[in-house]
Each structure stands twice: as C-alpha cells, then as structure tokens.
Amino acid sequence: MNYIYSIISTGKNFYGDTDPVALAEEFGTPLYVYNENILRKRCRDLKGLISYDKFVVNYSPKANSNLELLKIIRDEGLRADAMSPGEIFLNLKAGYQPGEILYICNNVGEDEFLYAIQSGVNISVDSLSQLEMFGKLNPGGEVAFRLNPGVGAGHHEKVRTAGSKTKFGIEMKLVPHVKKLLKEYNLKLIGINQHIGSLFLTGEAYLRSTVNILKVAREFEELEFIDLGGGFGIPYKKQAKEERLDLRDLGKKLSDRIAKWTAGYGKKIEFMIEPGRYIVAESSILLGRVNAVKSNYGIKYIGTDIGFNVLVRPAMYDSHHDIEIYRKEGEPSDHEETVRIVGNICETGDIIAKDRKLPELFEKDIIGILDSGAYGFSMSSNYNNRLRPAEVLVEANGNCRLIRRRDTLEDLAGKFVE
C-alpha cells in the first residue's frame, strides 16, 4: 500500500492500525472514516476555551449527528443543541437528559413546540411571533430568545446568521416587545443566545458580537445562561499550511469580558458556546474511488464515486477540501497536473475540486477528502437515487468499526405507500 500524497493523515496517524485502501476494500466507497482521538481532542480544545467555572459547551449536532459520535462527545462532557425534533430525539438517544439540551428553533409549528415542551428541553425562540405562539402553548413556562446582535460572520453569505441580511434572531430594538410578551404570558426568560455565522478563523467579529448580547442581557434579572454561539472555524487548507484559529487569544479575551460582566450582574450564570464544525470537521476523511480519467476540451477530469449527494459543500458553498491520494500498488506519480475532480451525479455542478494541482491520478486510486466530518454526512442525500455512504470509526485503540451501514437499494423503496 502506497500513501502517494498523504502528509496530513500520515502526520496524524489518522487510520490507526488500518489503512485507507484496506478500509475501501472492506467497507466499499464512498466511505466516511472518523478518528476518535481527533474528535476527543477537539472536544477538549473547546472545553478549555474559557476559564470560568460555569462554562458550558453545547455541541450542535446538525454538523454531524451519528449516534456513536454523539456518545463520544457526550462522554467528553459537552452538552447539546438541537435545531429540530429529530435532533432532540437523537440527543436523548445518545444519553442526554432533557435539561442538557437547548432547542434553538426557527419558524416551527405548534406541533414542534409541543414536542419540545413535552420533552422537557430548554427552548429558545427566534421571533416575537414565535414567542407569542410559545406563550399561548405554555403560559407560565421558561423560555430563551435568540438575539440578532447586528454583527455577522462566516465563510459564505449563506451561512452568515446575524446582521441585517438574515432571517435569524430578534433585533435589539425589539427587546421592549420581548419584555411585553414575557409579561403577557407570565414567561420566565432564562437565557439569551446568538449565533453569528459559521467558520470564522479570527475571533474579531465573535468578540464584537458579545458586546451587544451582554448589554441586552443586563436588562433581564433572572437569566440562567448566555449563549454566545458557534461558528469556530478550522483550517481547510492544511496542505497550504493555513493557520488555526487562535483559541488561546480568543479564550482569554472572552474570559475577561465574562468576568467583568458577571461582576456587574451580581451573580454567576452559565456561559455557553455552541460549536458544530470545530468539534467534528477534522475527525473525518471521506474516501472515494477514481472510476474514470478523461479529457474534455482541454480539462482533465478525474471521475469518482463522490457525488454531491455524498458531500455537498463544494457544490453548495464553493468550499475547499484538501485531497489525498492512496494507491494499492504500482505506478509512482512523479509529476503533478491540474485536474478537476468530479462525482457521478448527472449535473455539471457536481464538482469536488475545480482546478487542483495534484500528483497524477489513475483509475482505481483511492482519494481522501480531508476535514469532511462537519456538514458532510449530515447534508448527504439520496439524490439521483444514490445510496448514502457507510461510516466507520477508527477507535482510540486503533481498531476500526462500522458505525452506520450504507443504504441499500431496498432502503430507497422502503417508505413508499402502496
């Protein structure tokens, strides 16, 4: 087995006692491979972000909700967010108590509210309209609201979730209306949360956004928590030595602000963050197989079995993922060339990497798409009636085990009603 081009995974001993070609042969491709050690390390990084004894990290499972991974994350002492009844359900299955789950919902119906209320999870609402609906369903209850602090961040306009160009949160100028509704329905405001966007690599906007939420929070006396949001980025361009987010610096500045605020508020409440990507992204490499190599009008295409039904980020957000190459035997790749790596879906936009300089690729090569653990499997679909891939975990002891089986053809027909 040759690791043709594999600086990152080799450096991390990503595959433990096994190797990517053996995994592809045993489990088939495409295949999401996770590394438990890396997952645990990332949980610990963020648990240690802030020095404050009531600091809580809520993992946001929309980045990846494999039940086995949720159990590991829970074992590391993280709590959980949920964005849907399904995520509440899976968090409970992973062993969380309802009180450890914060349901941050957006435009939900009465049924969903009732499911959440009956589950006993904490609930944050996203508009005055939803606060009113909640108040009618659960008068006298406890509730939090999501603030739009007027500052956004993120790698793409689709994932900037605060500021003036997004559907999320309640504007600061509407806070008096929040108070009125709280009174009208005798609700207790237990928390304020925000989430400004996904994938920042400098802490500047995140820090700036805390000013406003802390100011608003001072106006409420019975708060139990303030949730500053997720969005912590990871370097997707590791082969080009992209720098990591400086957690030490960000953590220190956040700790200072929290200490100051707490002194003014007069009591120690919980401070939360809600990361998804940072926890899981780097714990996975997606393996695929090269099925065809061809030239079309001057562009060299590497045709793989990783369609955008398997990993949609490049097609949806123009995201970059580093790529490694593994080969069972034979051919060295002694020259580099610029290629377009594509999948097997019937759309021209089905591109994994647009113009990427890589060592020469051949049919039957295995490619590894790095940092695919966040918004990878969780956004996969059966588009083109393709099967969603299997997921395997390289455990801390180096062993490998299946943690989700591949779809079968029968699964495709399974939900039709005759």
Ligand X SMILES: *Cc1c(COP(=O)(O)O)cnc(C)c1O
Residues taking part in catalysis: 346
Stretch that binds ligand X, among 135-143, 194-202, 218-226, 300-308 (CB under 6 A): 194-202
Rule CB under 6 A: say whether 83 interacts with ligand X.
Answer: yes
CB of 125 to ligand X, least distance (A): 12
Give the Cα separation of 138 and 318 in Å (integer): 43
172 binds ligand X (CB under 6 A): no
Q: Which is nearer to ligand X, 333 or 378 (CB)?
A: 378
The correct pick among 20, 169, 203, 230 for binding ligand X (CB under 6 A) is 230
Alpha helices in 291-408 (DSSP H): 313-317
Q: Which stretch binds ligand X (CB under 6 A): 58-66, 328-336, 352-360, 402-410?
A: 58-66
The interface region with ligand X, picked from 46-54, 92-100, 208-216, 226-234 by CB under 6 A, is 226-234
Binding region for ligand X (CB under 6 A) out of 30-38, 91-99, 195-203, 326-334: 195-203
Under the binding rule (CB under 6 A), the answer on residue 63 touching ligand X is yes
The answer to whether 91 contacts ligand X (rule: CB under 6 A) is no
Gap between the Cα atoms of 293 and 303, Å rounded: 6
Within positions 246 to 285, which residues make up the interface with ligand X, using CB under 6 A? 274-278
* Candidate ranges 56-64, 71-79, 84-92, 208-216; the one touching ligand X (CB under 6 A): 56-64
Q: Measured from the CB atom, is 63 or 342 closer to ligand X?
A: 63
Q: 268's torsion region: left (phi>0), alpha (psi -120 to 50) or beta?
A: beta
Whose Cβ is closer to ligand X: residue 104's or residue 170's?
104
What gap in Å lies between CA 8 and CA 367, rounded to an integer?
Answer: 13
Q: Which residue number has the CB closest to ligand X?
A: 276
Q: What's the chain look like in SS3? A: CEEEECHHHHHCCCCCCCCHHHHHHHHCCCEEEEEHHHHHHHHHHHHCCCCCCCEEEEECCCCCCCHHHHHHHHHCCCEEEECCHHHHHHHHHCCCCHHHEEEECCCCCHHHHHHHHHHCCEEEECCHHHHHHHHHHCCCCEEEEEEECCCCCCCCHHHECCCCCCCCCEEHHHHHHHHHHHHHCCCEEEEEECCCECCECCCHHHHHHHHHHHHHHCCCCCCCEEECCCCECCCCCHHHCCCCCCHHHHHHHHHHHHHHHHHHHCCCCEEEECCCHHHHHHHEEEEEEEEEEEEECCEEEEEECCCCCCCCHHHHHCCCCCEEEEECCCCCCCCEEEEEEECCCCCCCCEEEEEEEEECCCCCCEEEECCCCCCCHHHCCCHHHCCCCEEEEECCCCCEEEEECCCCHHHHHCCCCC
Which residue from 9, 198, 284, 319 is in contact with ligand X, where contact means CB under 6 A?
198
Assess 108 for contact with ligand X (CB under 6 A).
no
User: Is residue 232 within the footprint of ligand X (CB under 6 A)?
Assistant: yes
Within 10 angstroms of residue 318's Cβ, the number of other Cβ atoms is 11
Q: Are 278 and 233 in contact (CB under 8 A)?
A: yes
Between 20 and 230, name the residue whose CB sits nearer to ligand X: 230
Min dist. Cβ of residue 393 to ligand X (A): 20
Q: Using the minimum distance from each CB to ligand X, give the nearer residue, 21 or 214.
A: 214
Q: Taking CB under 6 A as the rule, does residue 195 contact ligand X?
A: yes
Q: How far is the CB of 62 from ligand X (least distance, A)?
A: 5
Tell me, residue by residue from 361 to 400, as one string, x for binding to ligand X by CB under 6 A and - for no binding. Answer: -------------x--------------------------
Residue placing its CB nearer to ligand X in the complex, 4 or 94:
94
CB of 106 to ligand X, least distance (A): 8
- Other CB atoms within a 10 A radius of the CB of residue 360 amount to 18
Question: Given the complex with ligand X, which of 313 and 327 has the nearer CB atom?
Answer: 313
Residues forming beta bridges with residue 188, ordered by sequence position:
142
- Binds ligand X (CB under 6 A): choice among 9, 60, 91, 372: 60
Q: Any contact of residue 152 with ligand X (CB under 6 A)?
A: no
Q: Which stretch binds ligand X (CB under 6 A): 11-19, 60-68, 125-133, 321-329?
A: 60-68
CB of 157 or CB of 336, closer to ligand X:
157
The residues of the shown chain that bind ligand X, judged by CB under 6 A, are 60, 62-63, 81, 83, 104, 195, 198-199, 229-232, 274-278, 374
